[in-house]
Every structure is written in structure tokens, then in C-alpha cells.
Amino acid sequence: MSSFRTELVTTSEAFAGLKEPWNALVDKMECPEIFYRWEWNFHYFQNYRTHDRLFILVVWHSSGTIAAIAPFCVRNVRRLGCLARVVDTIVADMADYRNILVHSDYHRGHVVTAVLKCLREQTHRWDVIDISQLCSRDPTTFQIATAAHAYTDWTVRVQMSAPLVVRNLKHGRVVEDGGRLRRVRRQLQILTKQGFHVRIGCADIAELWPAFSLLHRSAWPSSPFHSAQGRAFFDDLIRSDGMRGKIEFSSLEFHGKPVAMHFGFVDSRKVYFYMPTMDRAFRQERVGAVLLSAMVDHYAKTHEVFDFLRGAEDYKAWYTDGLDMNMRIVAHRAASFAAFAYNLPELLRRFAVELGLPKATVQAAGRVGHDFWASARSALVTLGKLGRRAGRRRPTA
């Protein structure tokens, strides 16, 4: 009879040693994603998780093979003056997909149960489990929710997080806005005659990377390239051996100058439309839409899926009406003050919006509440210091 045992990995050295079996597992998943690879997790942890603790769960089958990896870490979050230890996936906002990585040969339910059993045995290390971007396309997401709900002393919340737009390139039903796409393709012909040049799947990434980083910073105030850690993370990622052949780089150039660029990912089956950018001075020429159209037409010849990733922007609906949904699962022990403090501000905001208050009003109230609690905490700290000083000055009898 088969069985599973779970190993907890908490050191960077052990994490580094998982590189080969980790990627071999991702290659054997039914629903693999580029963001699941070891390189994404290791370099993200090194650059963005410097104050967090590794909490990777490796599930071993009795045959001696790895059946699953839960790529978790624990981060400290302070809410309402209370410290909450939160289990999260290693890769956070940068990744559009996250999940427990399950080998396709093994029963998802059994493996997920082994992961949650280990988490339950390690409750002295954490207060809240809060994992997001669990895709509805992967049944593992619903196995996690089902297994967590089975613990009667846990409180579990499941909510929709973000829509994902995906176009099938080779098979299945495809509905597109033919009129808009014909106009975009005509625009490409016009720009080509004016001296614009499209390059899809560029191999000279190192040569184009500085121009892309600069263009992305100029176009997006929230660009990760504004921060040293963001630049370091992507530099480490694109230079890693494990990502060789998996980087998608395309550009639209005018007289040798890039005016629209895309940095994303590609595997044997799927193209990930991850980080587009353009020169705002060429907005009227619709250079961003033209580059995207050229990419879709190019990869339709060789790949099965074009994944537009998170967000339901209007331009994505020109290509498909296919939608998936990312989910968020929050779980914790039913009697936990740390979990109460962690959840309360967000739940109050959601409750106020659902009752009918305008979102802007709720957001403003949240800012006021944040300032209030910050002032209250500061006052309590000051009173505590004064109390300790008074105690030291008190004369003894």
C-alpha cells in the first residue's frame, strides 16, 4: 500500500539542493506553469524574502519519488499592534499562478491532505495560511479548499482573486473581435511601410534588456525596475540556466529604436504575455496593439495556448472570450487572536462595500483607521516607557 511522508525544508542550502528534482516535478505536472519552476522561487526568495523564513514542504511517496512540493514561506505581518505569522507562497505578486506542485502520477487529494496534515502538526510556527493566485483551471486549488474545510477547528475563507484571459491557438472554440483585429493588422502594414520593424522571439536578450528596463520604468510608475531588488531579481532570473530557451522577447522598432517591447515566457506549449511596454510618444500609432497582434499570429503557427495572464483589460477580449479565475484561500485556527487581528481590517472593508458604501469612502476610512491605529500604538509605547521610568524613580521603603 502506498503512503506519503512530508519533509520540512527551512534552509537556503537545502532549498538550493532541490533544483533538479523541483524542475523535474514541474515537468511532470498536469498543469505546469513557468512560475512554478525552481528558478522563479529561489531567486524571488533571495531578492524579495530577505526577512521571511522558508517553509517548503516536500511530500515523498513510499517509492522514494517526490510526489509534491508546497513552495511556502512564513512572513511576519503586524495588524492592530498584533504580530501574525502568515504562511504564503514563496513567489508573491510577480507570479500570475501559484499552487502546490503535484506530480501527475499521484492523487491530488491524498497529496494535498499530506501537506495540510503537516501544516496542522506545525501550527506552533504559524497563525494564518493566506495563499493567492490559485487557478481554477488546476483541480489542486479545489482540493486545497476541500481538505482545509475538513478540519472543523479551522476557519477557511475562499474568494475570487483575479480573472485570467487565455486563447487557444490550435484547437477549441475561439471567438474574437474580427473587426478590431483586422484594423490592427492593417496598421501593422502601414507602419511597416513607414519604416517600423517587428522582431518576434528575439535571441539577443542581453543586448535588448537595458532598453527594455528603461522603457518599462518610463511607462510604469509601479515598474519593479524602479527598485534595486526588482532589477536584481529579473537579472538573476533571465541569466539562470534553467530559464534558457524559456524567455520570450519581442519588439517593434522605428529606425533601430524600440518603441514597443514585450518580456515574457514561453515553453513548448504556451506563450505567457507577461510584461508589455511601449513608448508613450508612439501611442497614436498603436504600437502596443500592433506588437501584440504580431506575436499572436506568429505563435499560432507553433504553440497551443496564448496566456494573457491576470486582468481582463478590454484589448484582451479582442482575441478571445475565454476566462479562468484565480482564487485566494485563507485558513487559520478558529480560536486565534493573531488571526483575528490579521483578518479584521480587510473583512471590515469588504463588509462595508457589500453593505453599499462607495469604495472610495471605504478606502478613505481605511486610511484614517490606519493612521488612528498607528497613533494609538505610538501612544501606548510612549505610556509604557513613561510607566517604566516612573517605576525606576519610585523610592523604596
pLDDT digits (tens, 9 = 90+) for 25-38: 999 999 999 999 99
- C-beta separation of 213 from 254 below 8 A: no
Maximum separation of any 2 CA atoms in the chain, in Å:
97
What is the average per-residue pLDDT within 251-272? 96
Determine the Cα–Cα distance for residues 137 and 270; give it in Å rounded to an integer. Answer: 15
Taking 80 as the threshold, does the pLDDT of residue 389 lie above it? Answer: no
What is the model's pLDDT at position 201? 95
> Which amino acid would we find at residue 340?
F
Q: How far is CA 97 from CA 32, 50, 91, 212, 272, in A?
A: 10, 22, 9, 24, 11
- 300 and 361 in a single domain? The answer is no
Q: Is the pLDDT of residue 393 over 70?
A: no
Rounded to whole angstroms, how far apart are CA atoms 31 and 67? 14
CA distance 268 to 391: 70
pLDDT of residue 364: 58
Given pLDDT bands bounded at 50, 70 and 90, which one contains residue 367? Answer: low
The pLDDT of residue 377: 54
Together in a domain, 17 and 140: yes
Residue 50 lies in a domain: yes
Give me 326's grid cell: 484565480
In which residue are the cell numbers 533601430 written? 256
- 361 CB-contact burial (10 Å; exposed 0-12 / middle 13-18 / buried 19+): exposed
CA atoms within 13 A on the CB side of 396: 1
Contact 78, 84 (CB under 8 A): yes
Give which of 55, 62, 59 is closest to 25, Cα–Cα: 59
pLDDT at 361: 60
Calpha distance 200→178 (Å, rounded): 22
- Picking from 334, 369, 384, the residue at the C-terminal end of a domain is 334
Residue 201 lies in a domain: yes
Q: Which of 290, 319, 348 is the last residue before a domain boundary?
A: 319
Average pLDDT rounded to a whole number, residues 86-94:
96
> Same structural domain for residues 100 and 151?
yes
**Whether the predicted pLDDT of 234 surpasses 80:** yes
Cell for 343? Answer: 483578518
pLDDT at 207 over 80: yes
Q: Region 281-289: what's the mean pLDDT?
A: 96
Lowest mean pLDDT among 155-164, 168-177, 233-242, 248-257: 168-177
Q: Are residues 19 and 158 in the same domain?
A: yes
Q: Which residues are bridge partners to 332 per DSSP?
A: 128, 155
Number of domains in the chain: 3
**pLDDT above 50: residue 311:** yes
346 occurs within a structural domain: no
Is residue 359 very low, low, confident or very high in pLDDT (cuts 50, 70, 90)? Answer: low
**Whether residue 29 is found in the same domain as residue 93:** yes
Domain boundary residue, one of 265, 292, 319: 319
CB contact at 8 A, 154 and 148: yes
Give the Cα separation of 379 and 366 in Å (integer): 20
pLDDT interval class at 384 (50, 70, 90): low
- What is the span of the domain harbouring residue 388? 357-393
**Is residue 91, in this structure, part of any structural domain at all?**
yes
pLDDT at 395 over 60: no
Burial pattern 81-94, b for ≥16 Cβ within 10 A else e, equals eeebbbbbbbbbeb
**Grid cell in block for residue 159:** 474568494
Is residue 394's pLDDT more than 60?
no
Determine, yes or no, domain membership for 168: no
**Which pLDDT score, from 0 to 100, does residue 54 have?**
98
Point out the least confidently predicted range of 76-80, 281-285, 368-372: 368-372
The reply to whether 74 falls in a domain is yes
Q: Please check whether residue 351 lies inside any domain of the structure.
A: no
60 in the same domain as 146: yes
Q: Give the pLDDT band (50/70/90) at residue 192.
A: very high
Question: What CATH number does residue 112 fall under?
Answer: 3.40.630.30
Task: Match 538573476 to its residue by C-alpha cell.
Answer: 236
Section 253-264 average pLDDT: 95
| CB contact at 8 A, 251 and 261 | yes
Q: Can you tell me the mean pLDDT for 225-235?
A: 96
SS3 call for 25: helix
Element (H, E) at 21: helix 19-27
Q: Is the pLDDT of residue 14 over 70?
A: yes
pLDDT at 65 over 90: yes
Report pLDDT for 396: 41
Same domain? 47 vs 144: yes
Whether 292 and 217 map to the same domain: the answer is yes
Q: Note whether 363 and 293 are same-domain residues.
A: no
Q: Do residues 213 and 312 both lie within one domain? A: yes
In terms of domains, do 9 and 156 share one? yes
pLDDT in the model for residue 380: 46
Residue 366 has pLDDT above 80, yes or no: no
Residue 264's pLDDT is what? 97
Torsions phi, psi of 215, nearest 5? -65, -40
Query: Tell me, what DSSP letter sits at residue 59?
Result: E
Beta strands 56-61; 4-9: pairing state: antiparallel
Domain assignment of residue 167, yes or no: no
Residue 301 has what pLDDT?
94
Same domain, yes or no, for 21 and 147? Answer: yes
Q: Which residue has the higher pLDDT, 387 or 191?
A: 191
Quote the CA–CA distance of 222 and 225 in Å, as a whole number.
Answer: 9
This prediction's pTM: 0.88
| Count of CA atoms in the C-beta half-sphere (13 A) of 31 | 15
Computed over every residue of the chain, the mean pLDDT equals 90
